[in-house]
Amino acid sequence: MKLDLHRHLEGSHSATALLAVAREHDLRDPLFYDASAARWRTPAELSADVTMAGPTDDATVFYGCIVKARAAYVSVAAIGSLARHAFREAADETDGCELRVSLFSMTRTLIERQGHAWRDVTPTAFADTYARPVLAAVLAARDEVAAATGKTLLVRLGLSRTFESEPHYRALAAVIRDHAAALVGLDVLGIVTGADTEPLPPALVAILDDLRPVLPDLTIHAGEFAGHASVDRTLALSPRGIGHGVHALESAATLDRLLRDGVTLEVCPTSNRLLIPTALAALERAHGGMTPLRALQHAGVHCVLGSDDPTPMGTSFAREWQLAGDLGVDRARVEADAARRWAELT
């Protein structure tokens, strides 16, 4: 079974899908439409704008690609259409997958695209007028593609550690609670600059605690931009999975704890190569040239494979699978660990 267990909806809008939705909704944004030539741009032209050119330690380059693709978030219908394409593309190249939905940022973008400042929208209106239909559209798209393809497609609700407004996140939590039965769990995600690149704001943790009785399976991005201490801090919240977590390799004690708690690391080789090239090289040097996924397997830690953000990273799950083999990863063990994790989720 080829299971993609770390993939983001916002990073899964292919150039083909973006252009299809742009045409469908007549979005003549310069990203999609070349006004001087009076024609729609081609997928190859658009790909160059929404895909990273190469590795860089500057995460804002990646984020810039994500922001560009959000130009298509003009309405709930457009978001639903983009989600349908993303689920279809994921279903076509896997036997099953889990997509993470960053509901706050999608909602905020929709409000901005409709000409309003999101901070002027009350938390209740933010949640009920905008976020609720966005989540319903994403889940309807998932259900439609799952029925059409026969694949199991899981949706995880991501809350960002950027944590722009506690009242807005609190209102979102009520929407999430209402849709808990259609979701597989919670995730903490988001790129933060500053001294602490992987913060866990206490008020965000309190919201997670409130939601966990209805959504117990928690994953957290950690040990990607920050060191093993970030993984240690994350483990205090008892997650079932950690996004990336490759810096756990810096500490035998952290590896032991991952093993003892049965926590699964979701490793994304191309993402690491593009987003944390310097840290990746250091980890490889410290482990005899082994790629982190292989070194983590050596340490006995459960690891699954993910494509993370296929569009900005110019990859696919199939490509990650091939790459893992090229890097000497034990793919039979990845499959076994993925099956183990899948059994926890389905």
Residues at the contact surface with Zn ion, assessed by CB under 5 A: 243, 308
- Please say whether the beta carbons of 73 and 101 come within 8 A: no
**Burial of 172: CB neighbours in 10 Å, binned 0-12, 13-18, 19+:** buried
> Minimum CB separation from Zn ion for residue 245, in Å?
11
> Minimum CB separation from Zn ion for residue 39, in Å?
35
- Whichever of 133 and 223 has its CB closer to Zn ion, that residue is 223
Give, in order, the Cα–Cα distances in Å from 112 to each of 67, 72, 109, 116, 337: 12, 12, 5, 5, 41
Q: Which amino acid is at 102?
A: S
- Whichever of 74 and 231 has its CB closer to Zn ion, that residue is 231
> Minimum CB separation from Zn ion for residue 217, in Å?
16
Count other C-beta atoms under 10 Å from residue 205's C-beta: 13
Q: Which amino acid is at 4?
A: D
> Minimum CB separation from Zn ion for residue 40, in Å?
31
> Minimum CB separation from Zn ion for residue 299, in Å?
21
> Minimum CB separation from Zn ion for residue 161, in Å?
12
φ/ψ of 5, rounded to 5, equals: -110, 15
> Minimum CB separation from Zn ion for residue 270, in Å?
12
Buried b / exposed e across 184-196, counting CB within 10 Å, b at 16+? bbbbbbbbbeeee
- Please say whether the beta carbons of 311 and 184 come within 8 A: no
Q: Which amino acid is at 39?
A: R
> Minimum CB separation from Zn ion for residue 70, in Å?
17
> Minimum CB separation from Zn ion for residue 189, in Å?
6
Question: Phi/psi class of residue 170: alpha, beta or left (left: φ > 0; alpha: ψ in -120 to 50)?
Answer: alpha
What distance in Å separates the CA atoms of residue 182 and residue 180, rounded to the nearest whole number? 5
- Whichever of 31 and 101 has its CB closer to Zn ion, that residue is 101
- Whichever of 4 and 308 has its CB closer to Zn ion, that residue is 308
What distance in Å separates the CA atoms of residue 106 and residue 76, rounded to the nearest whole number? 10
- Whichever of 215 and 313 has its CB closer to Zn ion, that residue is 313
Per-position DSSP letters for 22-50, written without gaps between them = HHHTT---TTTEETTTTEEPPHHHHHHHH
Q: Return the ∠ at Cα 121 (arms to 87 and 220), rounded to 5°.
A: 45
What single DSSP character describes residue 128? Answer: I
Give, in order, the Cα–Cα distances in Å from 21 to each of 29, 31, 83: 12, 12, 10
- Whichever of 32 and 87 has its CB closer to Zn ion, that residue is 87
Residue keyed to tokens 């998932």: 142
